[in-house]
Each structure stands twice: as structure tokens, then as C-alpha cells.
Amino acid sequence: MLDWFASNHRVLPWRSDPQPYHVWVSEIMLQQTQVATVIPYYERFLKQFPTVAALAGADESTLLSHWEGLGYYRRARSMHAAAKQICERHDAVFPTTFDDVINLPGIGRYTAGAILSISQGQAFPVLEGNTQRVYSRWVAMQGVLSEKPTLDLLWQLAEAMLPKQNGSAGDAATGRGPGIFNQAAMELGALICTPRSPKCDQCPVRASCCAQKLGMQETIPGKVKKIDYEDRTEFAFVIANRDQSQFLVRPIPEGERWAGLWDFPRLTTGEIENESVAATQLHDTLATPISVGDPLMSMKHAVTKYRIRLNVFRANVANGSARRWKPPAPWKFATLAELDELPMSVTGRKIAKELSKSR
């Protein structure tokens, strides 16, 4: 597998200079996100925040702007909190002991092991989606990956597979230590031992793969329980100022979906019958009647267990109060250029782009 990795590994920006900070940023970004999507984000992120101290000193709005589109924004906030902790407790130097790393916000056993093995050559195993699949097939593990006994056994296997001594970060073409081994196992899962239609004829370890011998490579690992999605309809409104040059937005508070990002007026709690009902509820929030206008757009997206159809309407503050009404803080009117600079949810950004096209 190491020989295969030396000849077949992908050239990725975080592999060229595997400092702990670089590996950390890449691993957090790669959680639930494809490599091709992450690469440009990673490069822009390091240009804006080249050090732990730079990340710790950033304001949250700037940080979320550079994370916009990656989703799962809690990851970015945890990184921010971890960077501040590193500055406070470790003099802005990323720690290199397992206990110190795993105690950072947003870092668990897998991420801590990945950072220390890849950047320092320390002998810690990694178990994530790709290596779970590789190791499950290697030993024909038929347990369900979400169950603790299965995961416990896979962690034992991952640890037993590691080279017995610490190495160095090394170079992907020549390294043989734990960090290179972990990367090789992850790369094998990403490129060869794929979830569907694995390329067993190209696999460097097929001779010792029990699933391949038993013809079970398509059924191992066992399937994680499928999410039962609920359908729901939500409504958002585009409310312009009197000369139609600015649009009403607000920062989403803690505890709500996409907290810390900016969004158009939107109702996201419970099932709402139609746009008129939604506008009535918005009246209570903004302390002024809302008049619903023409539909602007409709889109579908998924959040946690919900499949959502978002219907977006133009709207106005009712005529009688339009001249004297001001949005309650922290709501504000913003131009399209100002919206470009604000961190927004994916759907909020789509609404802003639709407004730009309709100008």
C-alpha cells in the first residue's frame, strides 16, 4: 500500500507543507466536504489566515465570509475558539501532544491522530469514512459502522496496522512512517476502495482483502441507517427600501439555523401554511405590517432531517408606515454590493444573486 501511495497519491496543497496548522485546517474542511471543493477554500483561507494567531484575531464575520459555501459553520466557529485557546495556552504555537490537541474545541480522536501523525510522524491511528471502509473490507467486517462494537474493533485494527515506531512527516513519495501510512489508507479508500463499484483489480492489497475473497466488497461495510427526511415548505421575503437600492437583512442569532450568517427575512420554525401566514408572523418580529408581492424564486435544499422547498416573495412594508418605519436592530438595509461582503447562507446568497440578475 505504501508503494502504491508513493506512485499514485494526489498532489494536494496541504501535503506539500504538512505543518500542524495546515493539516488541521485541511482536516476540518474535509469533514463532510469533497476534496475538489476544499482546495480553493483551503488556499484562500491560508492566504487570509496564515497563522494560528491570525485566525484567532479574526472577527467572526470575516471568518464566516471565508467559510461561506462549505456549510456546517460550527466547524469554523470551533476552529476560531481553538485558535484562541492555542494563543492563550500555547503561545500561539499549535500543540504537538495528543492530550493538548484533543482538548481543543472541535477536535476528536480522528482529527487529533491525523494532525499528529501527518505533521509529526507520531504513531496515532486514523479512522474516518475512507479508512473505515478499507479496514472493514480488509477483514470482512459485517457490523454496522454506526454501532460502537464495530467502531471499537476498527480502531483496534487501525492501531495494529500502524508502523510500530514514530517517523517523520516525510515526503509522500518516500515516507514510510505512521503519517504516510494513514494517508495511504485514506487515499486507497478515496481512489480505489470506493463506496460503490470498488476497483478491486487495481487494489495493491487485494490478495489479503477478505471481502474481495468472499465476493462481499459491495455489501461491506454495513449500511448506516438511512435518514427519513421530512418535507416542509418555508418562506423568505425580499423587502427593499423606498428607492429599491437596499434590501432588509439580519444577522442570524445563536440557537438558530446558520447562526452568525446574514439572511433575508425568513420563517424557519414549524409548518407554515402559506406566504400570507408567514408575512403575518413576520409582522410580529418587525412591528409593522408586511404586504406580500410577486414571487421571486423557489428552490429546494436539505437541512438535517428536512427536505425544504423555499418560496421567496418580494414584499413591502405596508404603505401607511413605510415613510417612518425603521428596521429594529440588528436588522438593517444593505445594498447588493454590501451583501457581497456579508457572510450568507447558501440559499441567502442565491437570493442575492437572483436580485443582481433582475436589476
Contact criterion met (CB below 8 Å) for 178 and 167: yes
pLDDT of residue 166: 61
C-alpha cell at 45: 483561507
Cα–Cα distance, 4 to 210 (Å, whole number): 19
Residue 6: partners with Cβ closer than 8 Å, 6 or more residues away: 172, 173, 174
Strand, coil or helix: what is 18? coil
Which has more confidence, 113 or 322? 113
Residue 263 has pLDDT above 90, yes or no: yes
User: How buried is residue 11: exposed, middle or buried, by Cβ count under 10 Å (0-12/13-18/19+)?
Assistant: exposed
Active-site residues, by number, are 27
| Domain range summary for the chain, segments of one domain joined by + | 2-214, 230-357
Residue 219 has pLDDT above 60, yes or no: yes
Length of the chain: 359
Q: Which amino acid is at 210?
A: C
pLDDT of residue 242: 83
* Mean pLDDT confidence for 190-204: 95
* Mean pLDDT confidence for 37-44: 96
Over residues 63-77, the pLDDT tens digits come to 999 999 888 888 999
> What is the side-by-side order of every strand in the sheet holding 262-263?
262-263, 247-251, 332-334
User: How buried is residue 348: exposed, middle or buried, by Cβ count under 10 Å (0-12/13-18/19+)?
Assistant: buried
Residue 311 has pLDDT above 60, yes or no: yes
Strand, coil or helix: what is 62? helix
* Mean pLDDT confidence for 121-133: 94
pLDDT of residue 173: 42
Residue 132 has pLDDT above 90, yes or no: yes
**Which CATH architecture describes the domain 2-214?**
Orthogonal Bundle (1.10)
Highest CATH level, class, for 230-357: alpha beta
β-pairing, 247-251 vs 290-303, is: unpaired
Residue 172 has pLDDT above 50, yes or no: no
* Mean pLDDT confidence for 126-144: 93
β-strand partners of 308: 232, 301
* Mean pLDDT confidence for 76-81: 95
Question: Rounded to an integer, what is the distance from CA 228 to the centroid of its chain?
Answer: 21
Residue 185: partners with Cβ closer than 8 Å, 6 or more residues away: 1, 126, 130, 131, 134, 135, 158, 161
Over residues 334-358, the pLDDT tens digits come to 999 999 989 998 899 999 999 988 7
Q: Which amino acid is at 201?
A: D
For the ranges 90-104, 139-153, 175-189, 268-282, the lowest mean pLDDT is seen at 268-282
Residue 80 has pLDDT above 70, yes or no: yes
C-alpha triplet 96, 99, 101: angle, nearest 5°? 50
* Mean pLDDT confidence for 279-304: 86
